[in-house]
Amino acid sequence: MFQSKILTGRFVSKNPLQTFNLGVKIAGMLKRGDIICFIGPLGAGKTLFTQGICKRLKVKDFVNSPSFKIINEYSGKIPVYHVDLYRINSFKEIENIGLDEYIYGDGITIIEWAEKLDRRSLPRKRVEIELKIRNKNERYIKWQQYQ
């Protein structure tokens, strides 16, 4: 499948607020139907980044990792679907969630632990954000938008 990278960037975050603020900034370029795929280990800052995105989208609900439900729906300026695949162990389980309904819906879909998805099942149009833990307070963050 043809993929073109249209936007890439990188940033070294020195503290939690910088990661949150990067989320606020990146949310400014999102629109209905966009999909964000977070890649990175536990404690990297995926949920914090998501909180920044949600702030900009005027979500009033409390934004946290969806623990039992796997998907949380928030209402902001546009609907936000927050998916966390941390507890998912197989492609079969992912099929059962019915992710497609969200991905092809009219809101913004944010997926934590997107590395658990089969890349071929991901939509072509997406923003991938990778976070790496450098040390206690430093995160290396890289993003690429595919269209």
Instruction: Using CB under 6 A, list all residues that contact ligand ADP.
Output: 13, 15-16, 18-19, 40, 42-48, 65, 112, 137-139
CB of 50 to ligand ADP, least distance (A): 7
Nearest to 48 by CA among 20, 70, 21: 20
Calpha distance 48→36 (Å, rounded)? 14
CB of 87 to ligand ADP, least distance (A): 12
CB of 25 to Mg ion, least distance (A): 19
For ligand ADP, give the closer residue by CB, 82 or 126.
Answer: 82
Helix (H) / strand (E) containing 23: helix 16-27
CB of 26 to ligand ADP, least distance (A): 14
Contact partner at residue 16 from ligand ADP, Mg ion, none, CB < 5 to 8 Å by partner kind:
ligand ADP
Helices marked H in 40-122: 46-56, 91-97, 99-103
Number of residues that bind Mg ion (CB under 5 A): 4
For Mg ion, give the closer residue by CB, 112 or 128.
Answer: 112
Joined together, the tokens standing for residue 19 give 């990661």
Which backbone phi and psi does 37 adopt, to 5 degrees? -110, 115
Question: Is residue 47 at the binding interface for Mg ion, with CB under 5 A as the rule?
Answer: yes
Contact partner at residue 15 from ligand ADP, Mg ion, none, CB < 5 to 8 Å by partner kind:
ligand ADP
Q: Which residue is nearest to Mg ion (CB)?
A: 47
CA angle 21, 23, 29 (to 5 degrees): 120
Calpha distance 49→26 (Å, rounded)? 9
